[in-house]
Chains A and B, each alone.
Chain A
């Protein structure tokens, strides 16, 4: 790259400006969260006596323990099932090339750009009919369905690129399709599955619309949905609101920082394919 030094420098300056802008909201929230309770914080101002105890207050006020549990239950209900059935469908469509598969795949593609708002109203009445409103199932089941277009698209893209000879060889070996799937194809698909898992986790954890429409009780919602309720309840107490928001986004941040390489790869690939 023969970029001139000056250009490279401007590039760096821009990048650093971008980083500062990205981080400022977090820093500003932190500074507000550490002000004494009952005061009205102003802008970015490091408190002379940071009140770390505010986080403990927010933890109790937000009922964080129950929220974490609820979000984990929802993730546990959505992610493994979604990943499993999407991998199976991707295998069926991309490797076994079932007759009529193109049609089915087209049907899935139909949902790829679908805004959740477009189906949330009928989903509400459907969940009512199933007697599942206000239970975590009301979030779990629709989310699995709503993730299918992307998830199947993603896994099919992987399985289409696996040479069919591999399956042939396994068959000659006498394996059943099920064995072929688990022993040969799934291990090979591990990177695609890992990326998909990360994306599904993130999207579930942060799901807001379904949570507020289908579940009234904040302690049965996702983290994002619970944060909405927390804002409704504590919106006027800015110090507590900022502390609570930071607490609620901490788990995602921790998971993100641990898996950040995979996360970034998944997000890049995810948006490119989606």
Chain B
């Protein structure tokens, strides 16, 4: 980079003393192309060294049986075969897909509900307070959210306290430790983290909808449901797409919350691919299998996200 700078005029005085438009003109475009690349290069190098190279290595590792230290043995697609046939690994992938219900569908559905009723959050102090509070879960580390909710959902926690208070003490339990409720309980944590973000995004989108559309719908005799389906939903298409994209990635690639709140247990009830990759690679030393799972996870994310992008950005109404 320094060499390119050296060829450029070095100082203000120099430039003023020697205004050479012709020379500058002649080589301007050729030089601009070369100089332009120098601007892109640092970012590209960091990206290549710390993302693209590891990415290629993940593919490569996935074709080997390797314990991370010894000699790697070529096994072709065997690791992928294991990912798709091993009942534990399939369950783990299934867990991540189930989490989408909690991380994505619930926040988006509730967000839409609130958005369609509020339409715009008041701009005044109330609006600022609402926005600030709803964004809190986005700002704190997921680890902290995990700790807070582990406490809320524990046997002595607030959730059970409330249940007992309303006479539902019978269902009280250690929600994260129970075989049947652990995964939904983890899902609730994710829903809590993402609900505010989705709500704000949807309400912000809502405030951009032309009120005339609603008036027209009312004049046509549309009820609230028709109005929602005919005006709100189509107009918010892009925002819904954004919410789904962000939340689905958060669900499929979840790690922090699960690691902290359940470590994947009880059994494999809440183990997700991210956690299993970590375990396989660093505790069980099955780097090949971990990498195959990583590739599958990556493809799963793309398979979910790309259609949503296409649908929400495609033809605009």
Taking beta carbons and an 8 Å cutoff, which residues of A are in contact with B?
1-3, 7-8, 10-12, 14-15, 18-19, 21-26, 28-29, 32, 40-44, 85-86, 88-89, 91-93, 96-99, 101, 104, 107-108, 111, 113-126, 141-142, 144-146, 148-149, 151-152, 171-172, 174-179, 181, 202, 205-206, 208-209, 212-213, 223-224, 227-228, 231, 238, 241-242, 245, 248-249, 252-253, 256-257, 260, 263-264, 267-268, 271-272, 274
A41-B156, A117-B253, A176-B8 given as contacts; is B42 within 8 A of A88 (CB)? Answer: yes
Q: Are B46 and A145 in contact (CB under 8 A)?
A: yes
Excluding A121-B291, A242-B151, A264-B131, 12 further A-B contacts by CB distance (< 8 Å) are: A1-B120, A1-B211, A14-B118, A25-B192, A89-B39, A96-B39, A119-B51, A119-B55, A145-B46, A148-B51, A249-B144, A274-B245
> What 6 pairs between A and B have smallest CB-CB spacing?
A145-B50, A43-B161, A11-B117, A92-B39, A115-B253, A176-B8
Residue among B121, B132, B158 with most chain A CB within 10 A: B158
B137: chain A residues at CB < 8 Å are 22
Query: B140-181 CB contact bits vs A (8 Å, 1 = yes)?
Result: 111111011101100011101110000000000000000000
Residue among B141, B157, B162, B255 with most chain A CB within 10 A: B141
B317: chain A residues at CB < 8 Å are none
Q: Are B256 and A224 in contact (CB under 8 A)?
A: yes
Q: Are A28 and B151 in contact (CB under 8 A)?
A: yes
Least Cβ–Cβ distance between B294 and chain A, in angstroms = 4
Query: Within the complex, which residue of A92, A107, A263 is in contact with B37, where a contact is CB–CB below 8 Å?
Result: A92
Query: Within the complex, which residue of A111, A118, A252 is in contact with B295, where a contact is CB–CB below 8 Å?
Result: A118
Residue among B36, B149, B246, B294 with most chain A CB within 10 A: B36
State A207–B218 Cα separation when bound (angstroms).
Answer: 48
Query: B9 at interface (Cβ–Cβ under 8 A)?
Result: yes
Q: Are B117 and A22 in contact (CB under 8 A)?
A: no
Q: Are B32 and A96 in contact (CB under 8 A)?
A: yes
State A260–B256 Cα separation when bound (angstroms).
Answer: 24
Least Cβ–Cβ distance between B285 and chain A, in angstroms = 11
Q: Are A43 and B157 in contact (CB under 8 A)?
A: yes
Query: Within the complex, which residue of A28, A99, A264 is in contact with B158, where a contact is CB–CB below 8 Å?
Result: A28
Least Cβ–Cβ distance between A137 and chain B, in angstroms = 11
Least Cβ–Cβ distance between B295 and chain A, in angstroms = 7
Least Cβ–Cβ distance between B42 and chain A, in angstroms = 4
Q: Are A26 and B148 in contact (CB under 8 A)?
A: yes
State A2–B217 Cα separation when bound (angstroms).
Answer: 12
Query: B125 at interface (Cβ–Cβ under 8 A)?
Result: no
Whose C-beta in chain B lies nearest to the C-beta of A148? B47
Query: Which secondary structure characterizes the binding site on chain A?
Result: helix
Chain B interface residue bracket vs A: 35 or more
A104: chain B residues at CB < 8 Å are 40, 44
Q: Are A115 and B297 in contact (CB under 8 A)?
A: yes
B140: chain A residues at CB < 8 Å are 206, 249, 252-253
Q: Are A122 and B53 in contact (CB under 8 A)?
A: yes
Query: B281 at interface (Cβ–Cβ under 8 A)?
Result: yes
State A11–B135 Cα separation when bound (angstroms).
Answer: 18
Whose C-beta in chain B lies nearest to the C-beta of A227? B143
Q: Are A115 and B143 in contact (CB under 8 A)?
A: no
B196: chain A residues at CB < 8 Å are 18, 22
Q: Are A99 and B51 in contact (CB under 8 A)?
A: no
Segment at the A interface, from B77-85, B86-94, B270-278: B270-278
Query: B283-305 CB contact bits vs A (8 Å, 1 = yes)?
Result: 00001001100110110011001
State A115–B294 Cα separation when bound (angstroms).
Answer: 9
Query: B233 at interface (Cβ–Cβ under 8 A)?
Result: no
B119: chain A residues at CB < 8 Å are 1, 3, 11
A88-B39, A113-B302, A231-B260 given as contacts; is B139 within 8 A of A263 (CB)? Answer: yes
